[in-house]
Amino acid sequence: MPTINRIKTPSESEVHMTHLVLPNDTNQLGNLLGGRLMHWIDIAAALTAMKHAARVCVTASVDEISFNEPIKLGHMVHLRSVITRAFRTSMEVKVDVWREDPLNDSKAHTSSAYLTFVGIDQYGKPLPAPPVEPENDEERSLYEEAAIRREARLRYREQIRARRG
């Protein structure tokens, strides 16, 4: 049985997924539907959160998704999902997306996304998240930036609540 609250490194819960873009995945222009990509991103991030927390995790928020260039019918889509930081009960996960055109041997980074997940018990109540220990400069940078994104998220929520009265 896994130890649930031990400190873990980002690489312990990293997930890699690959999909082939088929006709049912595309719009009228032959581009991958944004919603389909968001679905794949959410699955990759959920798997990372579950591996990290060793429990069922649910999506709490999606902070940002960028679509830098289209992904076409027949392209391969590679997703890499890694936990950036854990807070009391929430975990931030970053997903990077690359497209690969196997016929023309070209690859490009197309998207990045930041999502927040919470591990829950059988009643849907949030549970503590295991701490994350970065191992290299890139992981340390993502770890520090996660705190900045979290603070901005909380500040934004508070501004909306205050505005609504």
To which H or E segment does residue 52 belong?
helix 34-53
Contact between 45 and 81 under an 8 Å Cβ cutoff? The reply is yes
pLDDT in tens, 3-20: 567 899 999 999 999 999
CA distance 8 to 71: 34
In whole angstroms, give the CA distance from residue 23 to residue 28: 10
Look at residue 64 in the predicted model and tell me its pLDDT: 80
pLDDT the model gives residue 1: 42
CA atoms within 13 A on the CB side of 130: 24
Q: What is the pLDDT of residue 27?
A: 97
pTM for this structure? Answer: 0.92
Question: Span 74-93, mean pLDDT?
Answer: 98
Q: Is the per-residue pLDDT at 2 higher than 60?
A: no
| Domains in the chain, CATH or no CATH each | 10-164 (3.10.129.10)
Interval 89-108 mean pLDDT: 97
